[in-house]
Structure 1
Amino acid sequence: MATDTPSSALPPPAPRSPARVLLPQVLPALVVGVLASLLFLGIEWISEEFEHVLWHTLPDALGIGGFSSLWMIVMLTATGIAVGLVVWKMPGHAGPDPSSTGLGGSPMAPAVLPGLLIAATLTLAGGVSLGPENPIIAANVALAYWLGSKALPVVPGALWVALASAATIGALFGTPVAAALVISEALTRQPDGQGSLWDRIFAPLVAAGAGAMTTTLLAHPTFDMSLPPLTDPGWGDLLASMIIATAAALFGLLCCYGLPYVHRAFKRLRHPMLMIPAGGLILGLLGALGGQLTLFKGLEQVKVLSENIGAYSSGELAKMAVVKLAALLIAASCGFVGGRIFPAVFIGVAFGLFVQALVTEVHPAVAISSGVLGVLLATTRQGWVSLFVAAVLASSPAMLGLLCLASLPAWLVVTGRPELELDESGASLH
């Protein structure tokens, strides 16, 4: 009688314990999280120091107002020339066309990163209406993928990409929650893998937490706008939130629909030393029209608006919203390197305050958070992140239910519409 058991009859090997799989990922995730945050903070510090020189020290030395119309036009045009030189001459040309890149993407070659980071720093310091998120995420993804693949070649490259993306988002917002929301939303677009959702986002969440805590401990960021809290929302607040979010989404879509046409117009100039300086000149003219609050990425300027509710007329707020929307469209089209989330937040705040100035019965927290929700849904198509940012700005737990309901009609408006991103042929993504 045979004693050997055919291999086909053997039971499958017992799967490894999830904890034994996840625990080795903790140390790499912590390292990536801390380093990603340090790179972000370093670029932010350099750009802020350079911004102070360009917009305060230099004009004061020349006896010119730092935010005079002339200086805004000169500085934005000069920033366009400087970024154009980087895109033209640096290896890798500061990465792919910014109008065709979103959050994340495939890792770039390390040789591209110096040009990318220099262009991003100049963009931030020069007053261009773009934020740091896209180039910082791209740089951290490239570095984590390159260094991680050399240090631990057995680790899949996709894990390094996920860790770096999550870490940078955590650092940008000062909390790992935003990163968890982005990752979970991205996973729904991929074929189902093995393990639970929390198994799949465990290591990225560690990296996001490390990035967020590093930023918090070193820079103490805050999104607190000191808005009066909404403690007892009613039906009127819900109706106002739904109307404002939907109207803001329609307003934000104007930028998405305009992107391929404006991008095509700049492409006709055929050279970065023509495209980007021309964009800088237009941004300077827009800054002279809209005022200094419409310059830069918009985070500090949002706090100025929220601290002075009632100080601006509806006409002034409408002008700022329109000018910032146009500035974001130009900056995203002509070749400047940067992200779109923070300028979109400013547009949403200005739009919400415009509505509140017209209808003073609308609570400021409802107006601002709903405006931000609508514009972010239109310009990012990131539903969870849009809800998260809007809720954080409101700083009122009672607003969360209103915003969840308000996001539904706004999403119906934006879904399937052109996005604020182009494909390689210059056509809108949908």
Structure 2
Amino acid sequence: MTETAAAAPAGGGPPEGPAASRDAAALLRSPEYLRLLLLAAVIGVPISAAAYYFLQLVGTLQRWVFMDLPRAVGLPAAPVWWPLPVLVLAGVLVGAAIRHLPGGGGHSPVDGFSTGGAPTPAELPGVLVAALATLALGVVLGPEAPLIALGAGLAVCAVRLTRRDVPHQVGAVVAAAGSFAAISALFGSPILGAFLLMEASGLGGATLGLVLVPGLLAAGVGSLIFIGLNELTGLGTVSLVLPGLPPFSHPDIAQFAWAVVVGVLSAVAGSAIRWLALVLRARVERRTLLLTPVAGLAIAGLAIAYGLGTGRSSSEVLFSGQEEMGPLLQNSAGYSVAALLLLVACKGLAYSVSLSGFRGGPVFPAMFIGAAGGIALSHLPGLPLVPGVAMGIGAMCVVMLRLPMTSVLLATLLLFSDGLAVMPLVIVAVVVAHVVTARLAPGPTTQPTSAGPAAVAAPADRSAPRPAAPAEEPHGG
């Protein structure tokens, strides 16, 4: 890419006026940009395939650890205490990756989609180990953040294998395209993943057009690769799929009042989850090797408490909620209000502990908790199931992600034909939750940016010295 790309303002801010727009228009017509589009399409193929098999590996390990391994050691099924050693092992592996591998296993998920640029080749193993241990062993986090980081890192590595002196702007756009390709089908649609990255990166104006086109192209190619590999391998989909819900015609005045209530309740609950996660992280980071396994023990205890209290599977508390959300909605009539409230409480606390010390994405647990809370509220007069679920998902997502547009889309596009009907309610719930969350925050908040395309306009300088990690205190200190 030519130096014209430097017209994009650092940090992804607004364009610098008409000159930036003219530069962007000229760049769109240039041969260099066409070559960049071709590169994005080519890179999208292997990265999306790698993302597909990564997600399949996570699913295979989950089934092996929680279903096959108990039988292999002579047990008829996983006993109620089974999550205890598994989650402690997760804490040991993730703590070791954070402490001893370059890059600290990736960024802390309690910060949202944090900036930092693509991982270097030396940091990719740490991101991979921490993500696999987190996701495969039942920690309450999703795969989207590791996929964004791995996609960006692999894309930059692939380009630098062919050319050492990759221009700064080209490397940034390629990293963004890799992130787009990696999560292209994770949310069931490449548009949802692309919009998430676009809003999280804070891009706008001329910069948005320059970066979004290669990213969308890579996402489209990646989505086709996901579909093709599903058909070819027969391993099944790795995308979020929600079941058909009862038809919903149009909202009424009572449901708009419920949208305000849902927004306020989500802001309070989500802010409490984030506050607890930040408090715990400050302590876990001081004794990573000791306290990350303790955090895993706490997550397992919450899952066991829910299972014993309701007679249901502890897996509803464990994991990200990506695969559990469909059965929850499909069988919502079989849950009592007490069971749903206990599920929200246990999952929320486990989510908070997971955010404090493990490595993964914050999206799917927020969606699951919002959906469970919406189902519980739908038992009250004036709130049907579909708008309750949609508003719960959107409001909880905006509290945890601080991305209002993405939260509205997540809550509506996933509901298919019901989505358009509930969108006005979701918008109100999301806006109320967003504003109340800002009021509950201890100080001025800034919109987090993505680990993938956050560095599109100005990638992080990996050669600069980094702050030293906090020294780990002796266990007796």
The TM-score normalised by the length of structure 1 is: 0.85
| 1:6 alignment partner in structure 2 | none
| 2:94 alignment partner in structure 1 | 83
Aligned mate of 2:134, from 123, 140, 144? 123
| 1:171 alignment partner in structure 2 | 185
Aligned mate of 1:385, from 406, 425, 432? 406
| 2:251 alignment partner in structure 1 | 233
1:411-430 matched pairs, under 5 angstroms:
411-415=434-438, 417=441
Give the secondary structure class of the aligned counterpart of 1:173.
coil
| Alpha-carbon distance change, 18 to 145 in structure 1, aligned in 2, over 3 angstroms | same
Letter in 1 for 2:334: A
Distance 2:76 2:220 in 1: 42
Aligned mate of 1:252, from 261, 270, 274? 270
| Alpha-carbon distance change, 213 to 103 in structure 1, aligned in 2, over 3 angstroms | farther
| 1:296 alignment partner in structure 2 | 319
| Alpha-carbon distance change, 14 to 369 in structure 1, aligned in 2, over 3 angstroms | closer
| 1:263 alignment partner in structure 2 | 281
Aligned mate of 2:172, from 155, 158, 164? 158
Q: Is the 8 A contact 1:174 1:212 kept in 2?
A: no
**1:167: Cα distance to partner?**
2.1
The TM-score normalised by the length of structure 2 is: 0.78
1:354-410 deviation line (CA, Å, top 9, x unaligned): 1113x1542111011101111101101111221111113332121123222332222
Aligned mate of 1:326, from 323, 342, 349? 349
**1:186: Cα distance to partner?**
4.6
Letter in 2 for 1:366: P
Q: Which has the higher contact order (CA 8 A, sep 6+)?
A: 2
Give the secondary structure class of the aligned counterpart of 2:119.
coil
| Alpha-carbon distance change, 362 to 143 in structure 1, aligned in 2, over 3 angstroms | same
Q: Is the 8 A contact 2:182 2:222 kept in 1?
A: yes
Distance 2:23 2:435 in 1: 48
| 2:8 alignment partner in structure 1 | none
Q: Is the 8 A contact 2:147 2:179 kept in 1?
A: no
Unaligned runs of 5+ in 1: 1-11
1:325-364 matched pairs, under 5 angstroms:
325-334=348-357, 336-357=358-379, 359=380, 361-364=382-385
Distance 1:96 1:401 in 2: 34
| Alpha-carbon distance change, 355 to 345 in structure 1, aligned in 2, over 3 angstroms | same
| Alpha-carbon distance change, 202 to 288 in structure 1, aligned in 2, over 3 angstroms | same
Q: Is the 8 A contact 1:128 1:297 kept in 2?
A: yes
Pairing 1:18–2:28 present: yes
Aligned mate of 2:227, from 201, 216, 223? 216
Distance 2:336 2:24 in 1: 68
Distance 1:227 1:104 in 2: 37
Distance 2:145 2:193 in 1: 14
| Alpha-carbon distance change, 176 to 163 in structure 1, aligned in 2, over 3 angstroms | same
| Alpha-carbon distance change, 98 to 235 in structure 1, aligned in 2, over 3 angstroms | closer
Distance 2:361 2:84 in 1: 22
| 1:144 alignment partner in structure 2 | 155
| Alpha-carbon distance change, 63 to 169 in structure 1, aligned in 2, over 3 angstroms | same
Distance 2:106 2:301 in 1: 27
Pairing 1:285–2:307 present: no
**1:96: Cα distance to partner?**
4.8
Distance 2:145 2:254 in 1: 38
Identity of aligned residues (%): 28
Q: Is the 8 A contact 2:254 2:382 kept in 1?
A: no
Distance 1:215 1:104 in 2: 27
| Alpha-carbon distance change, 362 to 110 in structure 1, aligned in 2, over 3 angstroms | same
Unaligned runs of 5+ in 2: 1-21, 231-236, 308-313, 450-466, 470-477
| 2:73 alignment partner in structure 1 | 62
**1:245: Cα distance to partner?**
3.1
Aligned length, in residue pairs: 407
Letter in 2 for 1:26: L
Distance 2:195 2:106 in 1: 27
Pairing 1:310–2:320 present: no
**1:91: Cα distance to partner?**
4.6
Distance 2:389 2:73 in 1: 39
